[in-house]
Structure 1
Amino acid sequence: MQAGDTIMALSSGALPAGVAVIRLSGPGVRETLDKLAGGVPTPRQLALRKIGAGQALDQGLVAWFPGPHSFTGEDCAELQVHGSPAGVKAILAELGALGLRLAQAGEFTRRAFENGKLDLVEIEGLGDLLNAETEKQRQQALARFDGRLTEKIAQWRESLLDLRAEIEARLDFSDEGDVSEDLPHHWRSQLAALETAIQSSLATLESGRIVREGIRVALAGAPNAGKSSLINALAKSDIAIVSDEAGTTRDVREVPLDINGQLFILLDLAGLRESDSKAEAEGVRRAQQAIETADIVLWLSSPDVPDIAAPDVAGQVLRIGTKSDLGLLPGVDVSISTGSRGDLIELRQRLDELAVGMTGAEPSLISHERDRLALSGAMAALEETRRNLGDWELAAESLRRASAALERLIGRIDAEKVLDRLFSSFCIGK
């Protein structure tokens, strides 16, 4: 990745397609459009142009975004051409002949960061938005990308600056008569308000993670309790093998399911029992491990299978009586038959109710491990500030550490430590 290069990439989906979008960014974009598209059009307006430096390669729409008012902060352009593999290949080859090079993964977004158009929090939101599969994931990612968390962090940093100013004034101007030895009466309440705000946001981390990664739902119970049949019915596909032979499920199978915009990860597990088969025993071990870490456990019991005791788990447990066409079981939360559409709707509603209780009305902006580390670090530094109020120098240093934790989150410091990992997950052309 070299600064100063003019880069290009196919930003749209796989070819062939109805339309292909080719993005350009860098100092040579204007000259490239002069040669390839007969000049630059009016900024931020589409213009129909012949595409080709010599002979016409295609005809398409050209958009021109002069820097710094562009996604990357550099001169940018987009060519919207026909999605022909041969046509796109010819245009990219001609762009290469004009001195452009293919962009690396995430290079457009990295340039946006380096030119101050996006911070790391917003970039993570963009990455989440590109990967969003459900409506709640989209809402959460877009709010982060739009800068809502950045705005919160900016408010916290401003509050920290005010707190630091009072402390450092007593360090730098202790001999001045107009600087009191005591802190203003509102200083401690301002510190407490900042601690409360950061702690409240940190407390939403788990609900934010659940929206971003999905709620893990373990389908557990005795062999032949109907786990595979239920997962097939919920997924509306023959994903899992269904057999009356016990022990057919040997591994943990993950199946995504969208319920009212919330992602659920259904885990089809081996039935819990003692077995002489090493393969089945390993499947049971993995099943027990999945049950322990699941957010929700659906404990399945069936009228035609001897029930076993449900294990103690950290997640919420919903007791499901399966094969209700054979008879109803006492003490269950939901009775279902996989052949009954109404039963499946009821189960989905119960899962949706549990999800709302776990995620809240609006998706949390705090959802990444980096968020937890930064906010926990800021909280620890603020608590340390309280303990150090007897020594102005130590208190000031603690407040500086709190500021540094927030600045690290948005990428003001130590950004290089996360950039390569962060952008490696982006697609070429973004």
Structure 2
Amino acid sequence: MILCLTSIFLIPLAIVGLALMNAGLGRSRNAAHLLVSTLGVLSVAVAVYFVCGYAFQGSPGLASYWFKTEGKQWDWIGGGKFFFRGVVFDGSLRSLNLLFQLFCVGLAAMIPLGSGGGRWKLSASAISSAVLAGWTYPLFAHWVWGGGWLAQLGTNFGLGQGFVDVGGSTTIHAVGGLTGLCVAWILGPRLGKYSPQGMPAAIPGHDMVMAGLGCLLAFVGWLGLNSAGAVLFANIPLSQVVLVGVNTVLSTAFAILAAAIYTRIRFGKPDTSLCMNGCVGGLVASSAGCAVLGPPTAALTGALAGILVAASVEFLELRLKVDDPGGSISMHGVSGLWGAIAVALFAPNHAGQWLAQLTGIATVLGLVLPFSYGVQWGIDRVWPMRVSPEAERLGLDLHELGAGAYPEFMIHGDEFLGS
């Protein structure tokens, strides 16, 4: 209990780190807005999860709704009570799981902020987070962590251990990253991001030191995230938590190195922001298999994650015209899916494990992504999510908060940036 509780209490550092990254990689005139938005979506996510989200997610062994086919029972949604009623806060694994989930749902809810930075209304992000925390995240988390049908693929169909996602590569990060993709699609690119010919303009982050500090804090927080997930969901002996830490460190280190080498070859010099994106990509990719991979395969998983993140940021920007200021879609969505694939490729042989992993990936792409897009589209029709062009030029700090993050300094505008 003490080890798990200590690990859980490290997770907020990951949230702080990602918030600083989003702010640092964005424009200075939106920095305060991004941090306030983080506080807002975290509060909304926790409140909605308290009201109904945990009841829909549940835990293994608790009441749930299920259907039966060919004599096999499949759980699809939790059947718990709202407002945490019936939960005994006694230090048991079930109560620790609840505390763990409060941080996880907040982490998932804040991921889309990086992709919508500079143009997403604070109110719209809060509404989006309410749906994610009240339905999208709890439903998928029930399937994976709550004894739902993806976890049952092993016992019902003999597919390895069922869908394995120890620290939430898919459950937290792919869900949050794909929601961010939907947000970026619907909001459209920032003003001045693309020329009339469709070529993207470089809009550098205003504070790389802030973003770098965010990476370091996220690294510490991830050690807690993966360790707690391994204890709660992988049923590992406590001595094996050392392996979880080693795998997390190796995946992150090799991701940074791979991103630096890739960008050095691609652009002539290592790219600072892409190396930071690669760092978080390595952390995310490590989560799914942190307790089931060996150190060599964890290092390989991280190295490939670093390359994938750097390549996907460029692909999304150049080919798909998706403007993602914080790189959230690539760091969380792409790396999260890759982490699940890495378990299928590199985990010790369990018959059918690869099929269980592909089923989970197909589920998040075939069900969660369309649903998330529909939710964002519906919100935008009822309550337009994007600020006005004038507000975007002025900066969301002044427009929505009434004060800038750096009132004592002269901040250059679009003319300086050439946009």
Structure showing the higher strand proportion among its residues: 1
Give the TM-score range, shorter chain.
Answer: under 0.3
TM-score w.r.t. length of structure 2 = 0.22
Return the structure number with greater relative CO, CA threshold 8 A, min gap 6.
2
TM-score w.r.t. length of structure 1 = 0.21
Structure showing the higher helix proportion among its residues: 2
Larger radius of gyration: 1
